[in-house]
Structure 1
Amino acid sequence: MRPSASLAALLLAAATAVVPAAPAFAQTAPARAKAETAAEIPCPKPNVAKPKGIPARPVPPADVPANSVVGGDALATHGLIIPAGAKQPPAVTATTWIVADLDTGEVLGACGPHVYQTPASVQKTLLAATVMDKLDPNQTITAVRSDLDIEVNSSAVGIVVGGKYKISTLWLGLLLNSGNDAANALARMAAGGGANGVATTVAAMNAEAQRLGAFQTHAVTPSGLDGKGQFTSAYDLALIARKDFANADFRTYVLTKATQMPAQPQVKQKGFQIQNENKLIFNYPGAMGGKTGFTTVARHSYVGAAQRNGRRLVVTLLGAEAHPQRGWQQGASLLDWGFAQPKGQSVGKLITPEEVAARTETGSADAQPESATAANKAAPGIHAGNGPGATKVMAAGAVALVLAGTPLLLLLTQRRRRRPLTRG
């Protein structure tokens, strides 16, 4: 199967372009001084001991001040940021998190929203955001040996070499059962099915992250299995989730409670049932679905969304432990907190691709997009650091380097590493 013309154009752009690793975002001098000197408010944590024997976390890239204020100056913190007067959010083990409105883009609250973290399987949401609308869900593909090239003991939906599967079945295997084998098959087919398909799609994922404004996200694998230099942030995941939940097929897949993997008589494999690992859809009124993730390095990660009283909120969290609450339960607690906040209160904004593109085109370091101006009016009193104060929200975009009139994008290629991981 050949990719569509639009996907071919995307992949060609990804394969021939170079993107700056640290996009040039503007930051006002007062904002920079505030970010550097303000005392950070610790995020609420439960009083539980950390598990023993956890591998050392990967060393993240150095913080880029311009990236730390994407969406608003107040988001440049490793600590807690909530609207002035808001109730304290629940204590969770997640290292970083964010709660945002899918429709308005308002960030209701966050803990270290721009802190680099490793994603685990929530990275599959970036794969979906990049290629879901480029693949025909009714197309049948044949699994090949390289689709099963995944870490030992990592999650797999159980496709077999020579097996024939619809694209829609692979998406269900990816999003319900976190199949790393399904991730490889989808990535390969999105780039035309060739030997370099997975690497090409990973490059397209990184280009899509840049387009969305997820500048702290760097994919190395399509599945989220750990790889050197692979990072994301809670803020970036919210941007990615916002695109995903705008896709009707994605919403259908992540709300599916169970499905049947088809029998493969040609290789003597019987059919079997898989169930959705995201318990939010079984236990939370108004749940819209999401994605779970875990590796021994990344720990637990989670993306979830729900709707209530005309509002649709998304929560993303990274670096969590499963005790005393599992990832989806921590997400549910933060969603409850978010729904309890009055409409219009925010500490920042989820930037839009249009705002990113506008910055890229103009190269402006001073102009604010209209949504940032609106956010300033909507959130006159928020607190970051040690007290309340007014915050100017900057929905900034990247300033592209230009050579002979052509934007330079960084081609980020896939690198595989073998590690004994328990999930993905």
Structure 2
Amino acid sequence: MPAPKKTARRSLLLASATLLTVSLTAPAALAAPRPSPSSSASPSATPPANMSTVGGERLGRPGTQVNLADGVPVLPKDVSARSWIVADAESGEVLAAHNAHWRLAPASTLKMLFADTVLPRFPKTMKHKVAVSDLAGIGAGSSMVGIKENETYTVHDLWLGVFLRSGNDAVHVLSAMNRGVDNTVKEMNEHAEELQALDTHVVSPDGYDAPGQVSSAYDLTLIARSGMQKKDFREYAATATAKFPGTTTKNKKGKPVRKSFEIQNTNRLLTGDYGLSQYRGIAGVKNGNTTNAGATFTGVAERGGRVLLVTVMNPQNDEHNEVYKETARLFDWGFKAAGKVEPVGELVPPKGAAQAGAEPGATASGEAGEAGGAGTSGGGSAKPVASARTEGGSSGIGVALAITGGLLVLLAGGVFLVNRRWPLPDLVRRRR
């Protein structure tokens, strides 16, 4: 879409939170067969010839898909990932992709689906005393936030552990609260199907390597887009550092004392690292790294009023922080190309989007807000949030989440596309 039309559409959405309905025609998309529990996470060194066409026929083709034309910048040549995607988070347009539907091991990026599924279940102020059984079954070598049995944590503490430290221990405790790991896996698979993330099969809720556990760059981007509709999800994903409860001890007077320690987000585009700067405009989302998956990452960033999602899976270049460097290059390209490049596909809406359109105020994933936080109001907008600074947190990156738009639903003959005006971010950097 040419830049002037894009600007006009944004102005219209900013001016009103009204539900709009217009006609469109859209090609039907076919999904490849659902992955089976026994399928290999990485079946070969090359992508299959036939992949899902959810989101558009070109997204099912192997190799790089982009519409280069006059005025469109050339893609960066130093991107070695097995699979990647660049998409406009608001419109859902896929600007470019590479093996978008290749089913690969997702590592801890799968925690986005865990959070999108379980986060609405419990208010953040709810407290839980950890039992020994809550921590059973955690894989050897897992990333941990440091949860201890017989200690009490709030749900808020546990989500900080999931998002910042990618703590498998926090995932298992929340899964135990959610009627167990098996039930949580079942609900995650059901939610993936609702989102039309049909390349995804969950075996372990924390993303730990497991036979048959797969997702794709396309699916992880869908999942991130759904998660970022939730206020708490956005806040946790954008938090750089926070305080986490430690172990209870006794002071010299014999009274119980519990100190906190600082945890930092493992998303290096959010926090920076040696040889890697914070990415300007970054607002989340989630990274992962396992032996089978390699490095994986989905990020969301805003610049100049435009919000992009980028997912990168398993870079083949063996450089420190390579997954973040390749993500940053793709973000840079996307911000330059957006408004100029013709999309190669789209991020499809959840199955329940028709119901969401019929009931203004329901979120696009069919959930009316989230427990313990400000959800979506009946007018299609949510309460603004001052920042993403955590309760008791020492510092971080806050996200101004004032919402000025609504939900745009396009309907025609049963074919529909949700085009959301997102409550995403003007970034506010908080420094100590």
- Structure 2 length-normalised TM: 0.66
Q: Percent identity?
A: 38
Of the three residues 260, 273, 283, the one matched with 1:288 is 283
Alpha-carbon separation, structure 1, partners of 2:141 and 2:207: 14
Alpha-carbon separation, structure 2, partners of 1:263 and 1:370: 49
**Residue in structure 2 matched with residue 251 of structure 1 by the alignment:** 234
Structure 1: which amino acid aligns with 2:260?
G
Of the three residues 95, 101, 119, the one matched with 1:108 is 95
Does the 8 A contact of 1:355 with 1:369 survive in 2? no
Does the 8 A contact of 2:145 with 2:167 survive in 1? yes
**Residue in structure 2 matched with residue 210 of structure 1 by the alignment:** 193
* 3-state DSSP of counterpart to 1:335: helix
Q: How far did residue 173 of structure 1 move?
A: 0.7
Q: How far did residue 301 of structure 1 move?
A: 0.3
Of the three residues 43, 63, 72, the one matched with 2:56 is 72
Does the 8 A contact of 2:48 with 2:62 survive in 1? no
Does the 8 A contact of 2:194 with 2:352 survive in 1? no
Larger mean CA deviation between 175-184 and 129-138 belongs to 129-138
Q: Could you say if the C-alpha distance between residues 209 and 63 of structure 1 is closer, same or farther in structure 2, counting changes exceeding 3 Å?
A: farther
Does the 8 A contact of 1:74 with 1:348 survive in 2? yes
Q: How far did residue 202 of structure 1 move?
A: 0.6
Confirm or deny that 1:89 pairs with 2:75.
yes
* Greater RCO (CA < 8 Å, at least 6 residues apart): 1
Q: Structure 2 stretches of 5 or more lacking a match?
A: 1-26, 33-39, 251-256, 272-277, 356-411, 420-432
Alpha-carbon separation, structure 2, partners of 1:214 and 1:220: 15
Q: 1 or 2, which has the higher strand percentage?
A: 2
* 3-state DSSP of counterpart to 1:262: strand
Q: How far did residue 368 of structure 1 move?
A: 7.2
Of the three residues 154, 177, 188, the one matched with 1:189 is 177
Of the three residues 301, 316, 330, the one matched with 1:334 is 330
**Residue in structure 2 matched with residue 422 of structure 1 by the alignment:** none
Does the 8 A contact of 2:49 with 2:62 survive in 1? no
Q: Could you say if the C-alpha distance between residues 112 and 74 of structure 1 is closer, same or farther in structure 2, counting changes exceeding 3 Å?
A: same
* 3-state DSSP of counterpart to 1:304: strand
Of the three residues 182, 185, 199, the one matched with 1:199 is 182
**Residue in structure 1 matched with residue 408 of structure 2 by the alignment:** none
1:380-420 C-alpha deviation (Å, 9 max, x unpaired): xxxxxxxxxxxxxxxxxxxxxxxxxxxxxxxxxxxxxxxxx
Give 1:16-415 correspondences, 5 Å limit: 58-59=42-43, 65=50, 68-85=52-69, 86-90=72-76, 91-148=78-135, 149-191=137-179, 197-265=180-248, 270-282=259-271, 283-321=278-316, 322-323=318-319, 325-343=321-339, 345-354=342-351, 369-371=415-417
Structure 1: which amino acid aligns with 2:415?
P
Q: Structure 1 stretches of 5 or more lacking a match?
A: 1-24, 33-55, 192-196, 359-365, 375-424
Does the 8 A contact of 1:218 with 1:232 survive in 2? yes
Alpha-carbon separation, structure 1, partners of 2:100 and 2:87: 11
Structure 1: which amino acid aligns with 2:305?
G
Q: How far did residue 367 of structure 1 move?
A: 6.8
Q: Could you say if the C-alpha distance between residues 57 and 69 of structure 1 is closer, same or farther in structure 2, counting changes exceeding 3 Å?
A: closer
Q: How far did residue 146 of structure 1 move?
A: 3.2
Alpha-carbon separation, structure 2, partners of 1:180 and 1:201: 14
Does the 8 A contact of 2:201 with 2:212 survive in 1? yes
Q: Could you say if the C-alpha distance between residues 367 and 82 of structure 1 is closer, same or farther in structure 2, counting changes exceeding 3 Å?
A: farther
Does the 8 A contact of 1:280 with 1:287 survive in 2? yes
* 3-state DSSP of counterpart to 1:301: strand
Structure 1: which amino acid aligns with 2:55?
G
Structure 2: which amino acid aligns with 1:180?
N
Q: How far did residue 118 of structure 1 move?
A: 0.4
Structure 2: which amino acid aligns with 1:138?
T
Does the 8 A contact of 1:127 with 1:187 survive in 2? no
* 3-state DSSP of counterpart to 2:66: strand
Alpha-carbon separation, structure 2, partners of 1:146 and 1:223: 16
Does the 8 A contact of 1:304 with 1:328 survive in 2? no
Structure 2: which amino acid aligns with 1:331?
T
Does the 8 A contact of 1:138 with 1:166 survive in 2? yes
1:142-172 C-alpha deviation (Å, 9 max, x unpaired): 1222333312222110101111111111111
The Cα RMSD (Å) is: 2.9
Q: Could you say if the C-alpha distance between residues 271 and 355 of structure 1 is closer, same or farther in structure 2, counting changes exceeding 3 Å?
A: closer
Q: How far did residue 27 of structure 1 move?
A: 5.8
Alpha-carbon separation, structure 2, partners of 1:64 and 1:143: 47
Q: How far did residue 130 of structure 1 move?
A: 0.7
Alpha-carbon separation, structure 2, partners of 1:330 and 1:368: 39
Alpha-carbon separation, structure 1, partners of 2:244 and 2:354: 41
Q: How far did residue 338 of structure 1 move?
A: 0.6
1:352-393 C-alpha deviation (Å, 9 max, x unpaired): 0147879xxxxxxx9772449x9xxxxxxxxxxxxxxxxxxx
Alpha-carbon separation, structure 2, partners of 1:371 and 1:289: 25
Alpha-carbon separation, structure 1, partners of 2:200 and 2:112: 12
Alpha-carbon separation, structure 1, partners of 2:176 and 2:96: 37
Q: 1 or 2, which has the higher helix percentage?
A: 1
Q: How far did residue 329 of structure 1 move?
A: 2.0
